[in-house]
Each structure stands twice: as structure tokens, then as C-alpha cells.
Structure 1
Amino acid sequence: MSIFEPRYRALYNDILFSGSRRFAVCTVDPKTGSFSRYAAVLYLKELKEVSEQTGDAVKFVCDHEVIGRVRIDRVLNPSSWMKADTYLKVEAEEIEEPEEDEEENRKREEALAGDFQRLVDLQHEMEESVKFTKGSVGNFKTGPGEEIWSTVRMWQNFGEQKLLSIQANLQQDFQKKLIRYLQDEKGQGKIPEVINISDLPPELQSEVKGLQQRMADDIAPIQEEYQRGMQLMMQSDSHARRLALLSGLIKTEMGLLDVKKQIKNMFG
């Protein structure tokens, strides 16, 4: 994680000064802007100051681990979210993990590891542009505590990369047309860094609007589904429940690839 916003620089300065080295992070609903009542507690494992190397563009590069969860009762300074003048301060209650059947959970963890292995094999067989590495199978740990949360973070990164790939594919055709217009019509050998939509011809302006709508239609539902999965993971009240949720995410991904494989086999 790279820290560059002034309010988060202040957060890290404060947790280092106090010695607590921990803080809570929750999700924000992209539609309503409301905060989740549940948040992960992150512990600062390692911090490196890089302000000199980055010209003060980035202050810290940090490594964290998830050590627990809290239920947020009240945000003490909600107006600071929009003003971005400082980080949010909350009153929160630590959530205790219940006792569970360790043997049953171990069986679930083994089954989940097998499903993940099959997913990775299928991703490589289908030559997916966004996929887990073969080596990630050995790093797939789902024990209680930090193990499953590190895997949740790995899955979250996968989801983010997949969304970026979909976005890039949607933009690809338009970018080709735009470059051709700038080079052929405008006679510009070098592509400008900034282009005003109003400077484009009507047909390209129409394509920009169509692209924006397609991205909203295609990407937003997928993004919401990933966020929903992560949020359910956060507010689940047991390790067994988190294993079930992660299993559902993996099986959904495998189902999509199975359909893709069937279509590929049908048409060669």
C-alpha cells in the first residue's frame, strides 16, 4: 500500500506516535456513498519512508496484516470524508470469533484448496489474460485469522485486475479509431496526453458516450458483485461461513470458465 494523501499520512504518523500500529478499514457503497458497519482491523507490519525517492509524491510504502474485525457504532467526524481534511475517527466494538468445530473446518479448507487448484488449472488451460499463477496454489491458505484474510486479499486483487482487463478490452476498439482520427485527420504524429471530447467529431463523441454507457452496464454489476462478496466475508460471524463464501466465489468463477470452454469446443 502506498500512502500519499495528506489525511492518510496523518493517520500513519498518529498510529506510529501512539505505538498502536493498528487501524480499521471498511468498504464504501459506490451507489449511496454509505459506509459499511463492519471493518477489518489492519496491523502495520512494515513501513518504509519513500518521500525522498518520490519527490514527496508518496510518503510511505506499507505492509499490513488483518488481525481482526470491528463493528462501527458511530463516525465521530463524518464531514471530514468529503472535505478530506483528516482521516475518519470512529467508535467501534471488537468482534470476537466464536468457537468452531476445527475438524469440520479443516475438511472444508482441504476441499477449498482442491477447488482452487482446479480453477487455476482451468484458467491456464483457457489461457485467460487475468489468472492466478501456478505458484499461487502453494500460497492458498485458508486457516482462521491471517491466513484466510490474506487469501481474501489475493482474491480481491484478482477481481480488481479482471475488471481492469474488461475495461481495457472495451476501450480497445475506440482507442484504435481515435488514434486513426488523430493521425489521419489531424495529421498529429504524436498523440496528445489530454483530449477534450468536445474537440472530437460527432461520430466519435457519440462513441465516447456509448462506451461510457457500456462500461457502466458491463463493469458496474461485476464490481458490485465482487464488493458484495468481500463485504459478506467481512460481516460473516464464523470461519466456516467465510470458507463457504470463498467457496462460492471460486465455484462461480469456475462455472463461467466451464461455459467459456464449452463454447470454445463447440466452435473450435
Structure 2
Amino acid sequence: MIKSLLLLLLLPVFSRALTSPISYLPLEPTTINTNTKITIIPTFPLGSTVYTPGESVTLSIFEPRYRKMYDHILLNGSRRFIVPQTVVQNGKKLISEYAPVLYLEELKDVSSKTDDQVKYLCSHKCVGIAKIAGVKRLSQPGMDEWMESYAEVLEEEVIGVEDAVDLTSLRSHYKKLVDLQHETTSSVRFTKDSVSTLALSPGKDEGSLWSTCRLWSRFKEQYASNLEREIQEILQVKILEHLKNLGKENTASINFENLPEGLKKDVLEVEKRVREEVRNCVARSE
């Protein structure tokens, strides 16, 4: 039991070592003077989706405004655009201050195969990070123009995360996490061999710390999914036991309001626990 609690405590510690608070800007047009660093860059917001340097990305393009955006970046030869996060906080739409830069590597016109439901199938590489200074032009579904932002594409030497992370401490935290995962027979765990091969190299290629960031992101998703499944199984056993006592074990569904107060309390407590544990694991900074 104590080791299980330590595991839950260590998950957010390691997660915080790979993440930092996200800064946001108002999602509204502004005017900013461009210069040699700050330029106008096509912008393709994809909600909460995040890409990291070195990652390969495939997108299907169907909206008219983004079809035109791709035509534009092909015509001017830049082949680049940014993909910021967008959120709503306190009723206000916001855009992340930093955004991945995607470079278009290959574009296939698949309109004839999809009855024009999808125009382009595009392969990209995330080549860096841009710092957004403000939004030049907004875009909505049905519009002909795509979104544009004022942004500075950061130089390669400043996009590495290794300078902001204590690598020795990170590997130490990771080893403790892996050891506890195996001692507690966690349903989702890293292999012990992965401790020595943990990617901590500088830069943005495969084997860099960015690879570990992606690995950690996949782990969090799988951990949260498994935790939710385990909690559902616990609740299912409790509810089936209740129905069996009533002689209604073949009932296909049951309304929450029809459960006895004690079982309602159990359900709510379990739901609260899974929310807290998932939040601790994911450790997302809003």
C-alpha cells in the first residue's frame, strides 16, 4: 500500500520534470510590427494537440481555408506553418504562446479518391518551435482565409529542453519510478532496461530528450486509460452485486438515481479518486 502511494506521488514529480506551465495569449487580432525575427506565419490551430521537434505528423486537409493555406505555402516555397494549442479559460479563447513548427514534406491530392471529401493527405516533420507575439488574422469554418500569427521561429540552439532540465535528477526520478512500477506490479510500466537507454541527448532528432517527452506523453495516456478501465471494473462488480441481491442480475442498465445511497456514495468516491489520480499522473498545467 505504501509503495502504491509512493508510485502515485512520484508520477507527477517525473511529469513536472518534463513539463512547465503553459503561457497563453488572447485569441484576438492585434497589430505588431514585423522585423527580421518576428514574421507573419500561417497558423493551423488543432485544439489540445501538441507536437514535438523531430516528430512526424500526417494531416488530412478538407476545409477550403486550409486547402488554400497549403496552396499558399507551396506557392511561396516556405512549406511551414505553426500549430498552437487553443483553450477556453473563464469564457475567453486563448492561444498558446509557443507552438510547434511543421514543415510540409509531402502532399498528395486525394480528392479523386475521396469524392473531394478530403483534398490533401500531407506528411510533415516538426522542425522547431515558434514564439507567438500575437494574432494577425482569425479564421472560422466556412471562411476562405486561414489564420495568421505574428511569430518568431526560435533558433535550433534554443529549442532544446535539456538546458531547463536537470538530466541527472531526471534519470534518477525515472529509475525510482520504474523500480516502483515493478515492485507494485503496475498494469502499465516501463521496462527496467529502459533506464539506461532513456533518451536524454541534446537536439531534436530521435534519441533526444524530445523523444522522452513523447514517450512520457504516451505513457500518461495509457496509464489514464487503464486506470479508468480498472475503476469501471470495480464499479461494475459493486453494481452487479447490488442487482444480484435484488434478483435483477440480468438487467441491461440501471439509473444512477435508483442505486441505494451507500452504493451512490461508493460510485462518487471512486469517480473522485480516479479523477485525482489521473490529474496527478498527467500533471497538466492549465
Q: TM-score, normalized by length of structure 2?
A: 0.50
Is 1:226 the counterpart of 2:276? The answer is no
Distance 1:213 1:114, change over 3 A: closer
Mapped partners of 1:49, 1:209: distance in 2: 50
For residue 145 of structure 1, the aligned residue among 194, 197, 204 is: 204
Distance 1:118 1:34, change over 3 A: same
Q: Where do 5+ consecutive residues of structure 2 fail to align?
A: 1-56
Q: Deviation of residue 40 (structure 1)?
A: 1.7
Distance 1:26 1:131, change over 3 A: farther
- Does the 8 Å contact 2:128/2:156 carry over to 1? no
- Does the 8 Å contact 2:98/2:129 carry over to 1? no
Distance 1:169 1:114, change over 3 A: same
* SS of corresponding position for 1:141: coil
Post-superposition CA distance 1:144-193 (Å, at most 9, x none): 334232322222222222222232233222233456649x62736xx6xx
- Does the 8 Å contact 1:3/1:61 carry over to 2? yes
- Does the 8 Å contact 1:21/1:44 carry over to 2? yes
Aligned equivalent of 2:100: 40
Post-superposition CA distance 1:7-49 (Å, at most 9, x none): 5x97478437733544323334465453222212233557789
Letter in 2 for 1:69: A
Higher relative CO (Cα under 8 Å, sequence separation at least 6) belongs to 2
Instruction: Report runs of 4+ in structure 1 exceeding 6 Å deviation.
Output: 46-53, 84-88
For residue 226 of structure 2, the aligned residue among 165, 173, 194 is: 165
* SS of corresponding position for 2:83: strand
Letter in 1 for 2:147: K
Higher mean C-alpha displacement, 159-168 vs 9-18? 9-18
The structure carrying a bigger strand percent of its residues is: 2
For residue 190 of structure 2, the aligned residue among 115, 132, 150 is: 132
Mapped partners of 2:108, 2:273: distance in 1: 37
Aligned equivalent of 2:250: 187
Give the count of matched residue pairs: 212
Q: Deviation of residue 91 (structure 1)?
A: 0.9
Is 1:18 the counterpart of 2:18? The answer is no
Letter in 2 for 1:144: G
Q: Where do 5+ consecutive residues of structure 1 fail to align?
A: 232-268
- Does the 8 Å contact 2:86/2:95 carry over to 1? yes
Q: TM-score, normalized by length of structure 1?
A: 0.53
Aligned equivalent of 1:245: none
Q: Deviation of residue 73 (structure 1)?
A: 0.8
Aligned equivalent of 2:20: none
* SS of corresponding position for 1:159: helix
Higher mean C-alpha displacement, 214-223 vs 121-130? 214-223
For residue 174 of structure 1, the aligned residue among 235, 241, 244 is: 235
Map 1:73-222 → 2, pairs under 5 A: 73-74=134-135, 76-77=137-138, 80=140, 89-97=147-155, 109=167, 112-113=170-171, 115-117=173-175, 119-134=177-192, 136-137=194-195, 138=197, 140-146=199-205, 147-178=208-239, 181=243, 185=248, 187=250, 197=255, 201-203=258-260, 206=264, 210=268, 214=272, 217-218=275-276, 221-222=279-280
- Does the 8 Å contact 1:41/1:66 carry over to 2? yes
Distance 1:99 1:13, change over 3 A: closer
Post-superposition CA distance 1:118-163 (Å, at most 9, x none): 5434433432222224565536133133423232222222222222
Distance 1:221 1:115, change over 3 A: closer
The structure carrying a bigger helix percent of its residues is: 1
